[in-house]
């Protein structure tokens, strides 16, 4: 386990935590969501940190990762969702035609982002539609549980799907860096320690 893998994992956990916030509260940390959406468009970033902009952008993910790894909370739903996203990403990697459609859709959404702004509802709707037409057709499906009142709002559903697309982006990165699910069990303490170190560094240095 190394810092780069932990950052990719933090990106994944952050996106899943945002999905949970939206499902339960109907809103989420917009700054963290913006960082996740930006990562979807940064296909050719020069470094792992570059994918997210900076380490501070995944602070919520690092905090969530630490609490889930240390099992300091009873609610492990973020970890369960992250594991499902990892399996979904594996399904996607075996479907080159779907991967191609996804990449084309991201490029089209990027042009829209340049026109309307990355945080615009048009871009969120486009990414949500892309998730629904590609990743939603694969197994396993990511099940999102929460307050039905919020999950019936189309704007909330669009944000949920956009964040799930960002979660898959981080899962791709995690696997590209050699990350595997079993490492989370085997290197749980090491992973938590690295996440704590990154969290402290980002708080002190504003990295």
**How do the domains of the chain map onto residue ranges?**
3-205
pLDDT score, position 72:
64
Instruction: From residue 13, give the alpha-carbon distance in Å to each of 41, 63, 64, 108, 176.
Output: 18, 9, 7, 26, 17
Alpha helix segments (H runs only) across 26-153: 30-41, 48-52, 59-69, 77-93, 96-116, 121-133, 148-151
* CATH T-level topology, domain 3-205: YcfC-like (1.10.3890)
pLDDT score, position 207:
45
Return the number of other C-beta atoms located less than 10 Å from residue 143's C-beta.
8
pLDDT score, position 75:
82
pLDDT 10s digit of each residue in the chain, 207 long?
A: 899 999 999 999 999 999 999 999 999 999 999 999 999 999 888 999 999 999 999 999 999 999 999 876 668 899 999 999 999 999 999 999 999 999 999 999 999 999 999 999 999 999 999 999 999 999 999 999 999 999 999 999 999 999 999 999 999 999 999 999 999 889 999 999 999 999 998 877 544
Kindly state the DSSP code that residue 124 receives in the 8-state scheme. Answer: H
Spell out a b/e string for 77-108, using b for 16 or more CB atoms within 10 Å of the CB, else e. Answer: bbbebbbbbbebbeebeeeeebeeebeebbee
pTM of the model: 0.96
Residue listed under structure tokens 């020069």: 46
User: Do the beta carbons of residue 21 and residue 28 sit within 8 Å?
Assistant: yes
């Amino acid at each position: 386990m190394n810092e780069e893998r932990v950052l990719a994992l933090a990106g994944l956990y952050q996106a899943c935590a945002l999905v949970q916030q939206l499902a339960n509260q109907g809103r989420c940390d917009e700054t963290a969501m913006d960082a996740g959406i930006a990562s979807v468009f940064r296909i050719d970033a020069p470094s792992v940190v570059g994918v997210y902009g900076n380490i501070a952008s995944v602070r919520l993910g690092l905090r969530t990762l630490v609490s889930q790894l240390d099992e300091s909370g009873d609610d492990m739903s973020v970890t369960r969702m992250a594991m499902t996203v990892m399996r979904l990403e594996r399904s996607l990697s075996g479907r080159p035609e779907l991967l191609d459609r996804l990449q084309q859709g991201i490029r089209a959404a990027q042009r829209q982002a340049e026109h309307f702004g990355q945080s615009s509802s048009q871009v969120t709707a486009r990414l949500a539609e892309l998730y629904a037409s590609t990743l939603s057709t694969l197994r396993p499906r990511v099940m999102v549980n929460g307050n039905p009142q919020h999950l019936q709002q189309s704007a909330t559903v669009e944000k949920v799907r956009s964040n799930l697309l960002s979660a898959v982006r981080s899962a791709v990165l995690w696997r590209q860096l050699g990350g595997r699910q079993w490492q989370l069990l085997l290197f749980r303490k090491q992973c938590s320690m690295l996440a704590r170190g990154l969290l402290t560094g980002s708080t002190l240095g504003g990295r």
